[in-house]
Amino acid sequence: MMMSSPRKAMSCMQIQFRRSSTTTPSKTVSKSASCSIYTSSGQKHKLQNDNNNDNERKFHTLNCNTPYQLCFLRHGQSTWNRDNRFIGWTDTPLTNDGVLEARVAGQMLSRSSLQFDEVHTSLLRRCIRTTNLVLMEVGQEYIPVHKHWRLNERHYGNLVGMNKKEVVKVHGEDQVKRWRRSWDEPPPPMVDDHEFHPALDPRYWAVRDKIPKCESLKCTLSRSKVYWEQKIVPSLREGKTVLIVGHENNLRSLIMNLENIHKDDIINLCLPRAIPLAYRLDPETLEPLDRPDGKLDEATGFLRGEWLGGDEAVKEILDKDRKQVYDTSIEENLEIGAEQEKWKRWTELAIGPPVPEMVAKTAVSGDFLKNGFIPGMDMDVIENVNESDNRNDYDTGASENKNETVPRKNELDDDDDDFDEPSVAGGKI
């Protein structure tokens, strides 16, 4: 019996692997030659390595074959994405499907010829794991990966852990949409004895006084903008190509600032999981340059960036996400339905089985809570908690990732001291 087309079978979860029309052929660069970057006029500009000329840029970007300088990527499916629950700062791991989504994102980036010089992500493992898997696919596990709490997802307050559709049934679609997507309306604040309070997590010891009870998008931007201005902008000005692996609302805040989206319009911007969004920036102003077709993206209607999976695929995914949360007439969980299984089978066939270190961890997060961890507990107990968490970890480098995810107090203190307080007024908002 003849097999149906993968393109038809994958339906709304179909992802088109495509090479951008603006991508140039690879060139062999000799040791004495310099890589090139693209200016706003489309001309290639060589990055010289002339130490005697202070006016020349010294950094040699690895991204010699595309005009993109910046790429945003939301993490793959986590356990609470699958279960349709509000997540916030809760450290939910990737599912097997989430691992597959991250690998597909890596394949898209690889086939677009994008190469990165550094990655920035949050302290939450769904983003850290996505970063690791993407770098495996593009063959760039050697580049620096910077993690910081300012890139965490927005704090969903007392909604954390609740089923989104059940909350819609109680409070209505309009109210839940304002809590999730509006500019300055935060959800109800988290109670101090909440089961998933971030203060129970040792990775936030050094910033316990900065943990919010809840956040609007405005609050989220106030912290993410600090990191953007003091860490990411300097890298972009040096000529580096930057990948930001983040969470939907944190990325929405950064994209709102970058694209100058009005606060009344931002409620309509949603982002899909694991589809790279690539930008060409003016090298002087760092403003987004127009897409080659001169239009905004068809998926959201707001963006000058290019979806490497194609606008149509993104539109279909966002439509499915909307139904998953707001359409109370649909009782089925769309994250685990027949279409998802169909997509999974075709995708596994297309990209092949994962290597052992890519196998997903799907255990329930919050092992530190199960072990009775509270701030101030003896360090021997904390080590036991970390060891328990690592036994559940899904890759062979679990102990390494533990050290990455839970920074030492002094490291986080030193990193945080580098930042000034945010200044949202006077920005683009």
HEC-encoded secondary structure of 240-302 = CCEEEEECHHHHHHHHHHHHCCCCCCHHHCCCCCCCCEEECECCCCCCECCCCCCCCCCCCCC
Pick from 60, 53, 391: which is nearest to 239 by CA? 60
**What burial class does residue 338 get, using C-beta atoms within 10 Å of its C-beta: 0-12 exposed, 13-18 middle, 19+ buried?**
exposed
**Does the annotation mark 75 as catalytic?**
yes
3-state secondary structure 93-106: CECHHHHHHHHHHH
- Contact predicate 211/88, CB 8 Å: no
Interacting residues of 173 by C-beta distance below 8 A, sequence separation 6+: 326
Is there a catalytic annotation at residue 194? Answer: no
Q: How far apart are CA 31 and CA 49, in angstroms?
A: 11
- 3-state SS, residue 78: strand
- From the candidates 60, 75, 148, 197, which is the catalytic residue? 75
Phi, psi of 407 (to 5 degrees): -65, 150
Q: DSSP letter at 155?
A: P
Task: Provide CB contacts within 8 A for 278, sequence distance 6+.
Answer: 20, 66, 68, 70, 71, 112, 114, 305, 306, 308
Nearest to 152 by CA among 227, 255, 240: 227
Catalytic pick among 101, 118, 137, 153 = 153
Active site residues: 75, 153
